[in-house]
Structure 1
Amino acid sequence: MGRLNSLGVIYASEGTGHRAAALAICEAFRERSPHGRVICRDILDVIPSWLKFTVSRGYVAMARHAPRLWGAMYWGSDRAGVQAEISDRVHDWLCSVYLPRIEREMTAKGVEAVVFTHYFGAAPFAERMRGRMPVYCADTDFASHRFQRSAAFALSFAGSARALRQRTDEGILNAACTGVPVALKYSRLPSREEARAKLSLPPEARVVLASGGGIGAGSVFAAVKSLAQLRDTITAAICGNNDGLYAEMRAYFHYKENVRVEGFVPNMEDYYAAADAAVMKPGGLSSSEALCAALPMLLIDPVPGQEELNLSYLTENGAARYLPRAELTAESVGAILSNGDAQQMRAAAKKLARPNAAREIIRLVAENI
């Protein structure tokens, strides 16, 4: 059994998923090494504050209001071409200027290994630390970006079998299919009855979860409007960190007894466990959490790039359906819950779920040490 006494975990505050994955890995480390030391850092903290603001707020703004622009940036940097060359040069320059700060901190604090949950700086840092400190990269989606596929990593943790094949097809064999790291609570979810009791939901009612993800993006408002027409269905609408959406939906649905509107909630696991189906965006972390609850998913508004790839993976494996028009949500939910499709989707979700991904990552890092 490998010993791991000190670990560095690095994420980027671009959206919410990378940080959530980093915290899951930290949690698994503390479980395995309760007396060990873990250093968790936002890599954007080492760049100028104005640039961090531009990157983190820029992603949220594009995801909410200009997803096609984000998609153009994602695919342009992922596929060979002029834009990819420019992305490489900018990325390499930023890394050469700012990565030494992370290097000095990790070295000074005696960190034995570093795990990245975001691709910014990951491969260049692994190159810099080659022979001195093993560096790992963990996927937060079901497919990987070009920047995440590098032989410089001591080991890459693939978010799915598809992400693993991306690496092996390129001759990168130092990779393992662990799944996307989620909080340990997703390995011990409450029963449907327990979750509904916690949330004060009727035990026999039909419950649908509607979520715009951590940043509250997409057409969740339109989806909830459609679901509100179903008198025999309770809709739990989660707005995440989108305060404007929360205020707007609270005002609009305040008279609807079958619609419950929430902002950011710390106990999403209870909502996943309590629901009969979910209408949500195909974010890597939120989808992975829903898989752990074997929850049938209707997926809306994929951001071009990683969320499109997540949608493809989940639908092709039978755990989700694509919902191209949010105004048809009620009809689509009614169909899957009444014709037996939901049971098949639950079975497919159980096959894909990796609730112990964070534990597996820590185990592999410790063994490699």
Structure 2
Amino acid sequence: MKTLALIYASEGTGHKSAAFALREAFLAANPDGEAFCLDILDFVPPFMKSLFSGGYDVMARSAPWLWSRFYWGSDRRGGQASAFEWVHGQFCRACLPKLRQRLASKGAEAAIFTHYFGAAEFAAMNRGRAPVYFADTDFETHRFQRSAEFAMSFAGSPRAARQRIAEGITNVVTTGVPVARKYAKMPSKAEAREKLGLPHDARVVLVSGGGIGAGPVAEAAKSLASRGFHVLAVCGGNAKLRARMKAYFMYKENVRVEGFVKDMENYYAAADLAVMKPGGLSASEALCAGLPMLLADPIPGQEELNLSYLTANGAARRLVLPQRAAEAAEKLLENGEAREMSEKAKAIARPYAAAEIIAAVTENSEIW
């Protein structure tokens, strides 16, 4: 196989990150091949893209209760699910023929979806032609991600694989969530702190709102800074949050406020602990660093399920009150629990997930 298509949706940032991680893994294994990433929302009218992409960001930041109704209502069969299926059907009719033409023009021999928009329907449309795969970006799945139409599904965790098997979907492989290759070879804590200019003997906590900069980043950072922690605050694409925090912490030398960070591996490696939202990609990256996590304000649906998985496996604890982040961090670091959490995080980390997915797709597509 020489040409692979990676299909994501610009709803949040994790699906795109996973697609580009898979592209990176494919090109590493196939230097003469071609892999291209496409946003499926580019194949629908602009108003639909704004509705799906912008609507998610607004709900995640400002109205999580509304996202909860959407997620759980569509995950369980009923009137709300039927209404969404109708909307999704209109979406598929608008974009899938165009997507198919684009893939044909580029000679794509296989496609991997990292978002469910149109995924199962496109797999059915291509039955007997180029195989279509699905790769999870969370540790549990929504029912729209589970389909026997896919040539193969790549589960983000054993729990996600069991969900499919329980429904009779057996063409599933547990690989973990695909992350960039750099997370397979993390810098040491000393190296990372040297690169970031941090004191080697400091207590360092990473506070992150994920790619969209949601959650109680400011509240947690204030709590930690007041107790002498060195705080690495990452605001992602939330420019307003970043500006507000930069102004508030202007004279605090122990607080660093960032937007998007390209060398995130150094931030994970430098930290003793993270206060973050349980996004599938960011949590998977943190696991590769063996970074203990305090998880706050999960977005209803997928992030609640991620929190359940991570806490059940001992890699994280829930932080109910972000204003007391410093107390929670001190407790974990002083009683040795953080070290135990770090080991458990490393035990469930899957830094080679993208390479494993590409190897399986390459083998299966050659047989196809």
**TM norm structure 2:** 0.98
- Share of identical aligned residues, percent? 61
Equivalent position to 1:217, from 210, 214, 217: 214
Structure 2 residues not aligned, in runs of 5+: none
Q: Which amino acid in the other structure matches residue 25 of structure 1?
A: L
Determine the structure 1 residue equivalent to 2:43: 46
Determine the structure 2 residue equivalent to 1:11: 8
Task: Name the CA distance, whole Å, in 1 between partners of 2:212 and 2:88.
Answer: 25
Task: Name the CA distance, whole Å, in 1 between partners of 2:106 and 2:261.
Answer: 34
Aligned positions of 1:260-271 closer than 5 A: 260-271=256-267
Q: Which amino acid in the other structure matches residue 33 of structure 2?
A: G
Determine the structure 2 residue equivalent to 1:93: 90
Offset of 1:96 from its aligned partner?
Answer: 2.2
Q: Deviations over 1:165-212 (max 9, x none)?
A: 000011100000000000010001111111001000011111100001
Task: Name the CA distance, whole Å, in 2 between partners of 1:205 and 1:227.
Answer: 13
Offset of 1:345 from its aligned partner?
Answer: 0.3
Offset of 1:33 from its aligned partner?
Answer: 0.6
Equivalent position to 1:247, from 243, 246, 250: 243
Determine the structure 1 residue equivalent to 2:184: 187
Give the number of aligned pairs.
Answer: 365
Equivalent position to 2:114, from 103, 107, 117: 117
Task: Name the CA distance, whole Å, in 2 between partners of 1:40 and 1:181.
Answer: 14
CA RMSD of aligned residues (A): 0.7
- Alignment check: 8 A CA contact 2:43 2:94 kept: no
Q: Deviations over 1:141-167 (max 9, x none)?
A: 000111110000000000000000000
Residue 305 (str. 1) matches residue 301 (str. 2) = yes
Determine the structure 1 residue equivalent to 2:232: 236
Q: Which amino acid in the other structure matches residue 210 of structure 2?
A: G
Determine the structure 1 residue equivalent to 2:29: 32
Q: Deviations over 1:47-73 (max 9, x none)?
A: 001211121111111100001101110
Runs ≥4 in structure 1, deviation > 3 angstroms?
Answer: none
Task: Name the CA distance, whole Å, in 2 between partners of 1:40 and 1:102.
Answer: 12
Determine the structure 2 residue equivalent to 1:104: 101
Equivalent position to 1:66, from 53, 63, 66: 63
Task: Name the CA distance, whole Å, in 2 between partners of 1:347 and 1:62.
Answer: 35
Determine the structure 1 residue equivalent to 2:154: 157
Determine the structure 2 residue equivalent to 1:338: 334
Structure 1 residues not aligned, in runs of 5+: none
Determine the structure 2 residue equivalent to 1:282: 278
Determine the structure 2 residue equivalent to 1:168: 165
Task: Name the CA distance, whole Å, in 1 between partners of 2:285 and 2:37.
Answer: 22
Task: Name the CA distance, whole Å, in 1 between partners of 2:302 and 2:76.
Answer: 13
SS in 2 for 1:235: strand
Q: Which amino acid in the other structure matches residue 243 of structure 2?
A: A
SS in 1 for 2:205: strand
Task: Name the CA distance, whole Å, in 2 between partners of 1:270 and 1:94.
Answer: 40
Q: Which amino acid in the other structure matches residue 6 of structure 1?
A: T
Equivalent position to 1:126, from 123, 133, 145: 123
Task: Name the CA distance, whole Å, in 1 between partners of 2:74 and 2:257.
Answer: 37
Task: Name the CA distance, whole Å, in 2 between partners of 1:260 and 1:87.
Answer: 42
Task: Name the CA distance, whole Å, in 2 between partners of 1:97 and 1:50.
Answer: 12
Task: Name the CA distance, whole Å, in 2 between partners of 1:249 and 1:65.
Answer: 18
- Alignment check: 8 A CA contact 2:40 2:95 kept: no
Q: Deviations over 1:252-279 (max 9, x none)?
A: 0111111111111111110000000000
Offset of 1:39 from its aligned partner?
Answer: 2.0
Q: Which amino acid in the other structure matches residue 139 of structure 2?
A: F
Q: Which amino acid in the other structure matches residue 37 of structure 2?
A: C
Determine the structure 1 residue equivalent to 2:310: 314
